[in-house]
Amino acid sequence: MSKSEIGLLGLGTMGAALASNIADNGFDIAVFNRTTQVTRDFKAAAGALSNRITATETLADFVASLASPRAIILMVPAGDPVDSQIAALRPLLDDDDLIIDAGNANFHDTNRRASEAGDKPFLGIGVSGGEEGARFGPSIMGGGKKQSWDRVAHVLTAIAAKHDDTACATWMGEAGAGHFVKAVHNGIEYADMQMIAEVYGILRDGMGLDNAAIAKVFDRWNAGALSSYLIGISARVAEARDSDTGNPVLDIIVDAAGQKGTGRWTAIEAQHLGAPVPAIEAAVAARNLSAARDLRRIGEDMFGAAPRALDGALTIDQLEQALIAGKIICYAQGFQMISAASDQFGWDLPLPEIAKVWRAGCIIRSVMLDDMATALTDAPDKNLMFSSIFADALKANHEAMRQVVAQAAMHGLAVPALSSGLAYFDSMRTHRGTANMLQGQRDYFGRHGFERLDREGRGFHGPWAD
């Protein structure tokens, strides 16, 4: 029997979709899953693709069915399962066989695995787009040795989403670079989703729109500057009805958000890097707050329900403008964080290419990314907010964002990510800030010293030192 060009281990939702995508693009693929029945079911359901799929039932058969040097994609849950699978595979592999971790790994783990692999080829690739993306074209962010990437680039670019004719699959740099970029993608995803949810709250509680009307608003926005996957699916979620009861699905979904951790990793890593991403941090905190439903009920009983009708204080157009400004700010924070990591970790992360790889296939795809790629090509080190195109957009929209945040505050509608985004914008346009007070306080209680505006040097102390 002829050997398969590539192998995939782990036929969960994402693994099965990715394996089908690979077969669909004309590559022979061998698959293996710990539970054999899953492998059999996958092959049986593959239809016309099944002649490209070799279903194997032992790890040894799986490895033996692959052409050398082998390339094996791992699609198992992030964390310990990845290490266990690598440990189980290594004794069966040759030194030049390539292992590719395509799960949502923490990039620190990918760095460690790359170093443990030594000279043995290892890639960590971030794959975005959910099940549909995995099946029909994800966005792929690769990390590891460039020569390892080059070995499988033809497969990865073939299965990736295409923007015009450009494949959304790019090598980002060594070791954990791909998973790092994927983590920031998810941080932006969290912030973008949270801002949309906040605006949904204003439409629902502040303006009294029903779900069908909210879906129409999102659909209209999706035809303009906000056009993006997340706005599109928000319209679909808002209009959907429960097949059992006929009620709007949104009205029966519990208001407590789950999270697998990637957004949290972004916030934590941003703190380590000293790279401010407050809108992303606010979004992570908002998910945590959402989970505290019992406490929130106690709070509502104690203080009274907060959301109050806006009575015409805001227009739907202002909400759209606020989201436009908010979205730019989320991405600006994410790209600044990537730039900081590139410096600190000695990567040469290609900022314009990252904007390009997010243009199709991934969850944060949006019409704005084309302009972001251009802005980052022109001035990769500049905060995206200061590029001419996005500066103009912010000038046109930040007053509406301010109105939305102010009116939301006045009416008890919580908008943590929008507020935080606005505070970031205002901080970034204020040359004379307020940290002189912090420095004075630090020096007062700890003789930490400060710099002076009127003299060169550092380590000055205030009169309290005497």
- Closest approach of ligand 6PG to the CB of residue 172, in Å: 15
Q: How far is CA 70 from CA 34, 110, 115, in A?
A: 20, 20, 20
Site string for ligand 6PG, 195-234 (x = CB under 6 A): ----------------------------------------
- Return the HEC string of 373-424: HHHHHHCCCCCHHHCHHHHHHHHHHHHHHHHHHHHHHHCCCCCHHHHHHHHH
Which amino acid makes up residue 33?
N
- Closest approach of ligand 6PG to the CB of residue 128, in Å: 3
Our answer to whether residue 356 is catalytic in this structure is: no
Footprint on residues 381-440 left by ligand 6PG (CB under 6 A): none
**13 counts as binding ligand 6PG under rule CB under 6 A:** no
- Closest approach of ligand 6PG to the CB of residue 224, in Å: 24
- Closest approach of ligand 6PG to the CB of residue 106, in Å: 12
* 82 close to 105: Cβ distance less than 8 angstroms: yes
Please, which residues bridge with residue 162 across strands? 167
Minimum CB distance to ligand 6PG smaller for 262 or for 342: 262
Minimum CB distance to ligand 6PG smaller for 127 or for 400: 127
Minimum CB distance to ligand 6PG smaller for 365 or for 382: 365
Comparing C-alpha atoms, which of 405, 379, 403, 375 is closest to residue 390? Answer: 375
Our answer to whether residue 320 is catalytic in this structure is: no
- Closest approach of ligand 6PG to the CB of residue 189, in Å: 5
* 211 close to 250: Cβ distance less than 8 angstroms: yes
Distance, CA of 119 to CA of 210 (rounded, Å): 59
Helix axes 262-273, 177-201, angle to 10 degrees: 110
Minimum CB distance to ligand 6PG smaller for 250 or for 319: 250
- Closest approach of ligand 6PG to the CB of residue 127, in Å: 7
Q: What is the residue whose two structure tokens read 């787009």?
A: 129
Comparing C-alpha atoms, which of 376, 373, 338 is closest to residue 107? Answer: 338
- Closest approach of ligand 6PG to the CB of residue 293, in Å: 18
**262 counts as binding ligand 6PG under rule CB under 6 A:** yes
Backbone angles phi, psi at 317, to 5 degrees: -65, -35
Q: How far is CA 438 from CA 148, 341, 347, 443, in A?
A: 49, 27, 33, 8
Work out which of 186, 211, 333, 387 binds ligand 6PG, going by CB under 6 A. 186
Work out which of 146, 154, 260, 452 binds ligand 6PG, going by CB under 6 A. 260
- Closest approach of ligand 6PG to the CB of residue 78, in Å: 9
Question: What does the DSSP assignment read for 162-227?
Answer: EETTEESEEEEESTTHHHHHHHHHHHHHHHHHHHHHHHHHIIIIIT---HHHHHHHHHHHTTTTT-
Footprint on residues 82-121 left by ligand 6PG (CB under 6 A): 104
Minimum CB distance to ligand 6PG smaller for 62 or for 265: 265
Backbone angles phi, psi at 127, to 5 degrees: -120, 120
Select the span of 146-154, 256-264, 338-346, 397-405 touching ligand 6PG (CB under 6 A).
256-264
Select the span of 86-94, 238-246, 260-268, 449-457 touching ligand 6PG (CB under 6 A).
260-268
**15 counts as binding ligand 6PG under rule CB under 6 A:** no
Catalytic residue among 120, 146, 174, 189: 189
**189 counts as binding ligand 6PG under rule CB under 6 A:** yes
Select the span of 31-39, 57-65, 107-115, 257-265 touching ligand 6PG (CB under 6 A).
257-265
DSSP H helix total and E strand total for the chain: 19, 10
Considering CB under 6 A, how many residues would be counted as binding ligand 6PG?
A: 13
Site string for ligand 6PG, 356-375 (x = CB under 6 A): ------xx------------
Minimum CB distance to ligand 6PG smaller for 233 or for 313: 233
**17 counts as binding ligand 6PG under rule CB under 6 A:** no
Distance, CA of 49 to CA of 118 (rounded, Å): 36
Site string for ligand 6PG, 121-160 (x = CB under 6 A): -------xxx------------------------------
- Closest approach of ligand 6PG to the CB of residue 361, in Å: 9
* Length in residues, the chain: 466
Distance, CA of 280 to CA of 265 (rounded, Å): 11
Comparing C-alpha atoms, which of 103, 145, 105 is closest to residue 121? Answer: 145
Distance, CA of 311 to CA of 314 (rounded, Å): 8
Cα angle 276, 282, 285 (rounded to 5 degrees) comes to 125
Catalytic residue among 131, 146, 162, 182: 182
Residue nearest to ligand 6PG (CB): 128
Work out which of 143, 206, 248, 263 binds ligand 6PG, going by CB under 6 A. 263
Helices (H), 240-315: 262-273, 278-291, 293-303
Q: Which helix (H) or strand (E) holds 332?
A: helix 316-344
Please give the positions annotated as active site.
182, 189
Q: Which residues bind ligand 6PG (CB under 6 A)?
A: 104, 128-130, 186, 189, 258-260, 262-263, 362-363
